[in-house]
Homo-oligomer: A and B are copies of this chain.
Amino acid sequence: MTSSKIDLNKILRSAKLKATKPRLDVLSIINKAEAAVSHSEIQAKLESFDRVTLYRTLNTLIEKGIIHKAHVESTEVFYAMCTTSCTEEGHKHEHIHFVCDKCEEVTCIDSEPISIKLPNHIISEVRVQATGICDKCFV
């Protein structure tokens, strides 16, 4: 039992979720990864689990504010760990999803909150997706 596994157990416990193998395995994959992980990648690594279980597991973790989707302009959905600011009540992300055109990785990048003002609009959330070349692929 590694120290990271203890953490993940705790995370599930404090969200009042049973610490089952699928959840621990999914969380472990997303937690270990540097970049956001695509659904299909998680699926591939957890072939033994039922497809439906994976969908439900991911959705549960999102609902509880543990992971979040990085909806980028692709058919694929990517998942990454939330920070402590996310709860069951809602996700509060102040970061950019960066998509590298070269390595195709999706990374969550903390940044200054982007302030947008639109006349006669109430803006509750701003999501930003940047495309380009990531630092790893940068010459």
* CB within 8 Å of B: which A40-89 residues: 69, 71-73
B124 touches A127 (CB 8 A): no
Q: Considering only CB atoms and an 8 Å cut-off, how many residues of chain A contact the other chain?
A: 30
Binary B-proximity of A108-125 (CB < 8 A = 1, otherwise 0): 010100101011111111
Q: How many copies does the complex hold?
A: 2
Closest-by-CB residue of B relative to A100 is B121
Find chain B residues with CB under 8 A from A111 CB: 116, 118
The answer to whether B98 and A121 touch across the interface, beta carbons within 8 angstroms, is: yes
A101 lies within 8 A of chain B by Cβ: yes
Give the B-binding residues of A (Cβ under 8 A): 69, 71-73, 96, 98, 101, 109, 111, 114, 116, 118-135, 138
